Chains A and B, each alone.
Chain A
Amino acid sequence: MKGLGWGTVLLILAGLAIMPFFVTNYIVTFAIQIFMWIALAQSWNLISGLTGYVSFGHVAFFGTGAYTAAILISKAGWHWFPASLMGSVTAPLLAFIIGYPCLRLKGPYFAIAMLGLNEVLRALVSYFEDFTGGGNGISLPPIAELQPVYYAMGGVALGVVLVTWRILTSRFGLRLISIREDELAAEAMGINTARLKLYAFLLSAAFPGIAGGFFAWYSSHIEPLGTFPFLTTITMIIMCLFGGKGTVLGPVLGASILSIFQELVWARFLFIHQAIFGALIVAVVLLMPKGILGVLQERYHLPRTI
């Protein structure tokens, strides 16, 4: 059974690896989007799904990565790949500044601090115009071919999924889950909850940082409203919740299913996009708090670590 599962995973990965040579650019672009959403939803899962601390401003790390890469490419002449990787330094740095004071405390402090972060970053980016281009944003040269971005974004998605799997099968993961289930009891058992929450948060900021860099390169233009939209955070949250928070494959499922739905159905109802997501969040929280994968895990007695 176990071998069969791994075989399927390898087969899917091999299929995805050779896919860009056989399909149209439209499909490749769409796949890049799905990879991006997998990376973002899974990153949100790392902090909120595992520890129960809700991050309402995760798009901030995505935006930080995008601006880091765009500035390095346009001002310092870096190659796009290392420039994007630098997002895994700057985004966790920002995460540390917020996480250190807020995650020492229990309760809703962290969630609200993350909610406020959106407005703050947007104001800062507009204020430091010389550096960031203000409301006009930064333009990058148009990209010649999509394949490198496809592999890069796919790599981030795969990376964050593997990291989540590795965490969930380790003592670190068990400790994080114990924080989610009962923080006081976890502390009483000698777990340094403040530090572990911070580690999880730094990890969860690093991947959106990198994905943001790739996004900036592939969309060739970034500006405050397009790079820090609140909708991005909402989308990551609902994808993770819908698929199943606190699992490895839940966010992957959620991101894939909702991206396809979005492309096929909701693209026609853009004006009520947020309302659909809002209703979906309420429905999932009240009716299916464990998400699709959670329900499947219970019904078919699947292992907790998938």
Chain B
Amino acid sequence: MSIQITGSMLLQGVVSGILAGGLYAMVALGMALIFGVMRVINIAHGTLLMLGAYSTFWLFSLYGMNPFLSILISFPLLFLVGAILQRLFVYQVVNAPELSSLLLTFGISIFISNMAMVAWTADYRSVEFLTGSFLLGPIALSKPRLVVFGFALTITELAFLFLNLTKIGKAIRATSQQRDLAQVCGINVRRIDLITFGLASGLAGAGGSLLSVMFSVFPEMGQIYVFKSFLVIVLGGAGNYPGAFFGGLILGLAEGLASLFLSAQLSEVIAYILLVLILLVRPTGLFRGRV
């Protein structure tokens, strides 16, 4: 049952992989920020993404709002949710052993996703907004994926500009490089924690909004993105924010090629093998040294 793989199919796999990777990078950037600043792996990151996806779905199906426009609502909404979670719970475990923060965010995550199930049922919902694809020579570019890629890239770029140019952004990076020293320099790290958690949750929410255009929306949709985001962070090297961007592209590419040569069913397995191999060979990430 070997299928002849032609050059155009290969190109197709590469292109759709990169398109998916843009979104991975954006979602992972949020998780990388929280990890960098607070040393907390936020297991609830995927759940926040799910909330973003549902807010887009409801705005679309109840008020007919353009899903891409709804990012202007889902981002601030999730920023608020994230800031509240940080203020109520997560701040208590920032300096605690890893076990506490992992379990705490895990508990939050299963609580929220169960509540979403109760409120909105486990049905698979979809936002049918953009369909069809552009034909570009031999390859077909799915319209929603292309537009989503554009938005993901723009939002990621805006986030980088924020981190690099604004005073708060610089304070976030300083805290992530040396928390104690940042505090000595007069940075209110508690406040930075709050802003970082909000920003990261906002990114997850925007990611959910974009995902809803391509895939089904359901309460447990986010779980796999916790794992994928972490893989992206590992690929890029922890604390290396531009690295996380390339990590996202690499993961997308690997999955695109895997579904071409093996089976789309196994794309998660490929991602997993990638993680184990990277940890075995190059645990510091692919792009060592640049922070």
Interface string of B93-137 (1 = CB under 8 A from A): 100011110111011111111110110000000000000000000
Instruction: Give the complex CA separation of A88 and B172 in angstroms.
Output: 47
Chain B residues near A116: list those with CB within 8 A: 227, 231, 268, 271-272, 275
Q: Which of A35-51 contact B (CB under 8 A)?
A: 48
A101 touches B279 (CB 8 A): yes
Residue pair B107, A285 in contact (C-beta under 8 Å): yes
Residues 233-250 of chain A, each 1 if its beta carbon lies under 8 Å from chain B, else 0: 010010001000000000
Tell me, yes or no, whether A186 is within 8 Å of chain B by CB: no
Instruction: Give 1 or 0 for each of B24-55: 1 = CB within 8 Å of chain A CB.
Output: 00000000000100000101000000000000
B185 within 8 A of A: no
When A and B form their complex, which 9 residue pairs have the shortest distance between CB atoms, in order from nearest?
A278-B111, A281-B107, A275-B114, A116-B227, A278-B110, A274-B114, A282-B107, A101-B280, A112-B230
Q: Are A272 and B110 in contact (CB under 8 A)?
A: no
**Additional pairs, 9, CB under 8 Å, beyond known A105-B279, A278-B107, A281-B103:** A48-B99, A52-B99, A107-B98, A111-B98, A120-B272, A127-B269, A180-B99, A274-B114, A286-B104
Q: Which residues of A contact B223 (CB under 8 A)?
A: 119, 230
Contact with B along A246-284 (1 / 0, CB 8 A): 000000000000000000000000011111011111100
Residue B263 lies at the interface, judged by CB distance under 8 Å to chain A = yes
Tally of B interface residues using CB under 8 Å: 45
Q: Is B266 an interface residue (CB 8 A)?
A: yes
* Residues from chain B with Cβ under 8 Å of A237 in the complex: 103, 106
- Please, what's the 1-or-0 string for B225-259, where 1 marks a CB less than 8 Å from any CB in chain A? 01100110010000000000000000000000000
> In the complex, which residues of chain A have a beta carbon less than 8 angstroms from the beta carbon of B279?
101-102, 104-105, 109, 113
Instruction: Flag whether B161 is at the interface (Cβ < 8 A).
Output: no
Q: With an 8 A cutoff between CB atoms, is A174 at the interface?
A: no
Q: Are B118 and A241 in contact (CB under 8 A)?
A: no
> Which residues of chain A are within 8 angstroms of B112 by Cβ–Cβ distance?
278
Of all chain B residues, the one with the shortest Cβ separation from A278 is B111
Does B283 belong to the interface (CB within 8 Å)? Answer: yes
Cα–Cα distance between A108 and B105 once the two chains are bound (Å): 13
Find B117's partner among A117, A230, A271 (CB 8 Å cutoff).
Answer: A271
B89 within 8 A of A: yes
> Which residues of chain B have C-beta atoms less than 8 A from A100's C-beta?
280
A61 CB, min distance to chain B CBs, angstroms: 16
**Residues A119 and B107 in contact, CB atoms below 8 Å apart:** no
Q: Which residue of A lies closest to B278 (CB)?
A: A101
A181 nearest in chain B by CB position:
B97
Find chain B residues with CB under 8 A from A196 CB: none
B66 at the interface (CB under 8 A from A): no
Query: Does A124 lie at the interface of the complex (its beta carbon under 8 Å from any beta carbon of B)?
Result: yes
Q: Write out, one digit per residue, whether chain B residues 49-70 have a CB within 8 A of any chain A CB (1) or not (0).
A: 0000000000000000000000
Asked if A158 is an interface residue, CB under 8 A from chain B, the answer is: no
Q: Which residues between 106 and 145 of chain A lie within 8 Å of chain B, taking CB atoms? A: 107-109, 111-113, 115-117, 119-120, 123-124, 126-127
Q: Which residue of B lies closest to A53 (CB)?
A: B99
A274 to B223, CA, bound (A): 14
